[in-house]
Chains A and B, each alone.
Chain A
Amino acid sequence: MRQFWIFLKREWMEQVRGFKLIWVPLVFIFFGALEPLTYHFMPQILESVGNLPDGAEFNLPDMTGGDILMSLTGQYQMIGTLVLVLAFMAALSGERKSGAGTLLYVRPISYAAYFTSKWLSASLLGTLSVWLGYGMAMTYVIQLYDRYPDAGSIMRFLAVYSIWILLVITLTVAASAALPTGGAAGAALGILFIGQIVQGMFGSHWTWSPWKLPEYGMAFLDGGPETGGLTGAVAVSAVLIFLLVVFGSVAARRNASRAKV
């Protein structure tokens, strides 16, 4: 347990001094602000960009606050995933490559403490960044939009979507334990995006799929999910996260010999 705290303190130090604590939240906050602003000021933006023929008229959809949050979620599903994978793909593999891990692995460390400290700090940072992003979006939504979901719905949405984010981060850190940095990024992105494609094509029957979590979450912004698959999907995801943490700890131990000496 003591090793876990020492490792966690080190992770915190690294996030602060490596500025990860700044730039990861900033990216999410940036997109969180951009989404409500662009939609709200779309007519003015189009006008100032100009070059529209006289008499051109657009019927812009009447966006509600809920629509903005869903559209933002769409952004986070692409760019957010990419940012999280980029931020944490080298969590373990980087230490093997630089050789800095070597001097940890020759000590009587628990690889479970080593891995879980990395997993926990990445999860906290990633989830917090996403929350801040939605917080930023809501700040503008409240000011600029007439209709928006109530706090309870948003909380429920965030709770479900956070599980998805946790899954993304856990997968990335576990991949970093098992593979070199490039391979880890490729594997994590591949699994996430291919899963989404497969989900889109054949997923209608498998309601327990973790890839359905964002969809279920967003349904809370629009009256609540229609299927009873949410509990199942959350359960499957929780088991998956647990298994990935175990896998990551084992992989970290097995790969210690790959550290540069």
Chain B
Amino acid sequence: MTAVLEVLNLTKRFNGKAAVENLSFTLAGQTATALIGPNGSGKTTTMSMLAGLLRQTAGTVSFGKAEGDPRANIGFLPQYPSFFPWMNALEYLEMAAGLSGLPARGLRLECEKALGFVGLSGSAGKRVGGFSGGMKQRLGLAQAIIHRPSLLLLDEPVSALDPAGRREVMDMLKELGERSTILYSTHILNDAEEMTDQLLFLREGKLVEQGALEDIREKYGGDGYRLEFTDRGSAQRFAASCPWPAAIEGTVVRVGASAASLESVLGFAAGHADGVRTVGRDTVRLEEIFMKVVGRP
């Protein structure tokens, strides 16, 4: 697999204040990477630099294909895409495709196909000015993929959608992921868990954690057992008395899967039944990792 995008020490300062600092990562072909971080952590700034909108203060961004305008191979979807309200969806898409150099021959068909893919076939002739947020997001996705770019940069592609729309768009992204490389930012961690080969955690402009989902899960607890107690006291008593290494977080005690079998955990919990609310198998959730990695300092 060749790298589609290589970022080295990417830095952006606004009036001396760093918004993104020394960011380095690589995107391999046909992979999906989730850029995760709280609001203001530099996700959009990073996306803008990669898309060629913002010029970095320092560092390099190199694309796999060296020749030509790199923008030709990038599809970009901002968080709140805005269009020309007096154009209809098909006209807009035809313009976008033409500007990206798609041949005029067969252009309309391509655009109609893309609108069909994002579920806007029925609204192709409607003015964008009357579109809902969800429809704009779909048109935004259509304009990002119309020129079949090798790299898709999607800034919060599903955050503004309702649950049903989010589901649909996630499915579209998965399908797109089979032929393009995707870098998307999100703070909806369920989505990141669903479609990602690599995670990048940003905090205050710095990359604080990165790696494959499994590796990061393993690092932050991995598979194990999760025991929830009614109060902190019971949790602490349990953790202190149990024979395995246990991690406490409030009323939750976690035991690593390698340390004990489910039977032994259940057996031990049965002996300390007072205060136990739930016991079960558990994989450390991205949300918990998120809080640890980028949450309160």
* A positions within 8 Å CB-CB of B: 2-3, 6-7, 9-10, 13-14, 17-18, 98-100, 102-109, 256-257, 259-261
A102 with B86: in contact, given A107-B99, A257-B54, A261-B48 (CB under 8 Å)? no
**Nearest B residue to A256, CB-CB:** B53
Q: What residues on A are CB-neighbors of B95 within 8 Å?
A: 6, 9-10
Known contacts A3-B99, A108-B69, A108-B71, A103 near B81 by CB under 8 Å: yes
| Min CB gap A6→B, angstroms | 5
**Is B273 on the interface with A (CB-CB < 8 A)?**
no
A103 pairs with B96, CB closer than 8 A: yes
Bound together, the chains give a CA A100 to CA B95 distance in angstroms of 13
Q: Report the Cα distance A103→B52, complex, angstroms.
A: 11
Contact A107-B78, Cβ < 8 Å, known A13-B91, A100-B84, A257-B55: no
Query: Does B76 contact A108, Cβ atoms closer than 8 Å?
Result: no
**Is B53's CB under 8 angstroms from A106's CB?**
yes
Contact B101 A108 (CB under 8 A): yes
Interface centre among A100, A102, A106, A259 (most CB of B within 10 A): A106
A93 nearest CB across to chain B (Å): 15
Q: How many residues of B contact A (CB 8 A)?
A: 35
Q: Which of B76, B79, B104 contacts A103 (CB 8 A)?
A: B76
Contact between chains at A2 and B98 (CB < 8 Å): yes
User: Does B21 sit at the interface, judged by CB under 8 A?
Assistant: no
Closest CB-CB distance, A104 to chain B, in whole Å?
7
Instruction: With both chains docked as a complex, state the minimum distance between the C-beta of A27 and any C-beta of chain B, in angstroms.
Output: 21
Contact (Cβ within 8 A) A106 B80: no
In-complex Cβ contact of B51 among A10, A99, A106 (8 A): A106
Contact of B143 among A103, A108, A256 (CB under 8 A): A103
Within 8 Å CB of A17, what residues of B?
86
Q: Which B residues are CB-close (under 8 A) to A107?
A: 71-72, 96, 99-100, 147
Distance of B52 from chain A, by nearest CB (Å):
6
Complex Cα–Cα for A259 and B78 (A): 11
Which A residues are in CB contact (< 8 Å) with B96?
103, 107
- Is A98's CB under 8 angstroms from B82's CB? yes
Given the contacts A13-B86, A257-B54, A6 and B98 also touching, CB distance less than 8 Å: yes
B41-65 vs A, Cβ < 8 Å mask (1 yes, 0 no) = 0001001100111110000000000
0/1 string, B197-237, CB within 8 A of A gives 1: 00000000000000000000000000000000000000000
Tell me the minimal C-beta distance from A14 to chain B in angstroms. 6
Give Cα A223 to B21, complex, Å.
Answer: 70
CB contacts (< 8 Å) of A103 on chain B: these are 76, 78, 81-83, 96, 140, 143
A259, B81: Cα distance in complex, Å: 12
Query: A18 vs B80: C-alpha distance in the bound complex, in angstroms?
Result: 23
CB-CB nearest in chain A for B68? A108
CB-based contact B44/A261 at 8 Å:
yes
A106 touches B52 (CB 8 A): yes
Any chain A CB within 8 A of the CB of B74? Answer: yes
Chain A residues within 8 Å of B294, by CB: none
Chain A residues closer than 8 Å to B87, beta-carbon distance: 10, 13
16 contacts between A and B (CB under 8 A): A6-B99, A10-B95, A13-B91, A14-B86, A100-B83, A102-B53, A102-B81, A103-B78, A107-B71, A107-B99, A107-B147, A108-B69, A108-B72, A256-B53, A259-B53, A261-B48
Please judge, given known A-B contacts A14-B86, A99-B80, whether A104 and B91 are in contact too, CB under 8 Å: no
Nearest CB on B from A17, distance (A): 4
| New A-B contacts (17) at CB < 8 Å, excluding given A100-B82, A108-B72 | A2-B98, A2-B104, A6-B98, A6-B99, A13-B91, A18-B86, A98-B82, A103-B76, A103-B81, A103-B83, A103-B96, A108-B100, A109-B99, A257-B55, A259-B53, A260-B82, A261-B78
